Structure 1
Amino acid sequence: MYYEDIRLEQPFLFTSGYFNLEEHEQHIHDSLEVGLVLENEMRYQFSQETYIGKPGDVFVCRPFEPHWGSSVNERKSCWNMLLFVPSLARLIPNGYQLLIPFYTDWLPSPLIPASSSHAISIAKSFQRASQTNDQPLRQTVKQAEQFLCLLDILLQIYDYASSQKQLVINSNDVQPISHSVQYLLQHFTEDVSIDTLMELSGEKRSRYFQSFQTFTGTSPHQLLLRLRVQHAMDELLRSPEHSILQISEESGFQSLRTFNKQFKSYSGMTPSQYRKTFNR
């Protein structure tokens, strides 16, 4: 596994490429990624799990999730890909809510099958985004059109993930918990208290924790730690001039000991080992 430092020149990028039949090390990156299989089957490895993607299948990659693809035979497997940064959500009203599937357990599998209406709509959005590059349009018009395609893709993923989650909490409880998750995504580097999150939801403590667990698949504290560690993983490689202590503090940790413990629990290595291993 290796870290790939993807530096987007703009908040999102539509691109295309292909996989060959070859052994390849899995990579991780901090960008959010959506892939669409175009031609021929491909084998997609997510950590220890392997998925076979067919034309029309969509893959959703969470940030810092080890993954890589390859063809299943000698024929090239062609794909379209969308890469974007989490901060893009600021440009969309309630945009952080659309990122919830990328940070929770809503999706039991990274694969959205081609037979679903959501994958069909996502494929059409990829096609529209690709067509704009072939049209004689001003750059600002192309970006606006592609942004609309990105928005539709996020909406389709959110809707599909919602249906897969099969929430058992009352629909009136979804919005308050959703606000909590959005707040965490926006303020995780700050001194966030559970009391603040409960105040945002308007729920009592026991009911809030139960609803949050059902809604996200984890606890508020664990989601907060995950976001902070993922932020630190990025900064350790992007900012080699910053000390580990400085990065732990900038990521929201108030104790270096706690940071080291949580980082190793999440990544399997200490922050210094991680920086030494992936800072190529």
Structure 2
Amino acid sequence: MIEVLNGIRETIIYDENMSIRFYYNNSFEDYPIHWQPAIEIIMPIENIYTVKIEENTIILNPGDILFISPGVLHQLFAPETGERYILLIEPPLFSNIKGLEALASMFYPYALYTDDSRKNKERMNQLMDNIYTEYSGNSDLKYASLYASILELLVIAGRNKTNLPIDIVNIKNTRSHKYVSKFLDICNYIDEHCTENIGIKELAALSGFSESHFIRLFKQFTNYSYYDYLNRSRITHAKKLLTTMPNSSIVDISLQSGFGSLATFNRLFKSINKCTPTQYRNLQREQ
């Protein structure tokens, strides 16, 4: 399941000791179109899954392994019965290793490993099994073993990605790989400073683009205008405050989340969450 989805951006809740997340999923559940700031690795165990990445449709058979780069829009269609692994890795985890500094764009936009097109897939399958076993257990040196297995998986994948499944040069989508890291940083900056008075001029300067060019590229990358994305980040912040500050008034929550108008806050909150801030707080208290 996608635990936190803000619009089309997935926020990943990593393991508290290591910036990875591993899912074993056997439910009949499709994932809507989204992107995340992590490398996503999908491996079906049983039955066939379909993944749509931008304009490309990929059929995954059991044992196939699919790497999806950060910032790439995709969605997953599940069969009525089946099992799959999903591994999410935050790229900075390995950024201090020479050769992996550009891990975020190494597999852009995706890399597919099948019986026909990739070597060492059997070993990659074993490593995914090992990662699942270690992640779900509590053995000695658990995180050292996870680090070693993930690193070996990345090395094998990186050494055998010479024939990418699509011609990057001819990608029509304007989310070019050279912009991925830059706009991920911009989105993270907005999320971290959403309660402040962030303007287009400031973000355009951070990106290195002119204001008009930034506005166009940001919309193409996130499918949201800068203003819509900022407001969604503020609403996400407000939801946290509604839960952690039960004695604060809705007016205070609105102001602390960066909204100058209570009416605007209430309207946007209900539009996004299908309930009012007060209803949301009451629902959280009941859980």
TM-score w.r.t. structure 1 length?
A: 0.65
Is it true that 1:132 corresponds to 2:134 in the alignment? yes
| Residue correspondence of structure 1 range 106-121 to structure 2 within 5 A | 110-115=111-116, 116-121=118-123
Aligned 8 A contact 2:119 2:160 in 1: no
* Correspondence for 1:231: 185
| Residue correspondence of structure 1 range 64-83 to structure 2 within 5 A | 64-72=71-79, 74-75=80-81, 77-83=82-88
Task: Considering fraction of residues, name the structure with more helix.
Answer: 1
* Correspondence for 2:92: 87
Q: What's the CA shift string for 1:87-111, capped at 9, x where partnerless?
A: 11234233215554234x6x5xx43
Structure 2: distance between partners of 1:14 and 1:264 = 28
Structure 2 vs 1, CA of residues 143 and 23 (structure 1 numbering), >3 Å: closer, same or farther?
Answer: closer
Structure 2: distance between partners of 1:14 and 1:225 = 25
Structure 2 vs 1, CA of residues 250 and 126 (structure 1 numbering), >3 Å: closer, same or farther?
Answer: farther
Structure 2 vs 1, CA of residues 62 and 235 (structure 1 numbering), >3 Å: closer, same or farther?
Answer: same
Structure 2: distance between partners of 1:121 and 1:251 = 42
Aligned 8 A contact 2:135 2:146 in 1: no
Q: What's the CA shift string for 1:201-224, capped at 9, x where partnerless?
A: xxxxxxxxxxxx98x989xxx654
Runs of at least 5 residues in structure 2 that lack an aligned partner in the other structure: 1-6, 237-287
How many Å apart are 1:55 and its aligned residue? 0.7
* Correspondence for 2:13: 7
Structure 1: distance between partners of 2:48 and 2:67 = 17
Corresponding residue SS for 1:55 = coil
| Residue correspondence of structure 1 range 120-159 to structure 2 within 5 A | 120-133=122-135, 137-138=139-140, 141-159=141-159
What is the Cα-based RMSD across aligned positions, in Å? Answer: 3.4
| Residue correspondence of structure 1 range 1-280 to structure 2 within 5 A | 2-8=8-14, 9-18=16-25, 20-21=27-28, 24-72=31-79, 74-75=80-81, 77-103=82-108, 110-115=111-116, 116-133=118-135, 137-138=139-140, 141-164=141-164, 223-242=177-196, 243-245=198-200, 248=203, 251-253=206-208, 255-276=210-231, 280=236
Structure 2 vs 1, CA of residues 51 and 277 (structure 1 numbering), >3 Å: closer, same or farther?
Answer: farther
Structure 2: distance between partners of 1:254 and 1:271 = 14
Q: What's the CA shift string for 1:39-89, capped at 9, x where partnerless?
A: 1111222234322211101111111222232323x21x2112221112112
Structure 2: distance between partners of 1:135 and 1:79 = 18
Runs of at least 5 residues in structure 1 that lack an aligned partner in the other structure: 168-212
Q: What's the CA shift string for 1:8-41, capped at 9, x where partnerless?
A: 2344325232254455522221111111111111
How many Å apart are 1:257 and its aligned residue? 3.7
Structure 2 vs 1, CA of residues 67 and 217 (structure 1 numbering), >3 Å: closer, same or farther?
Answer: closer
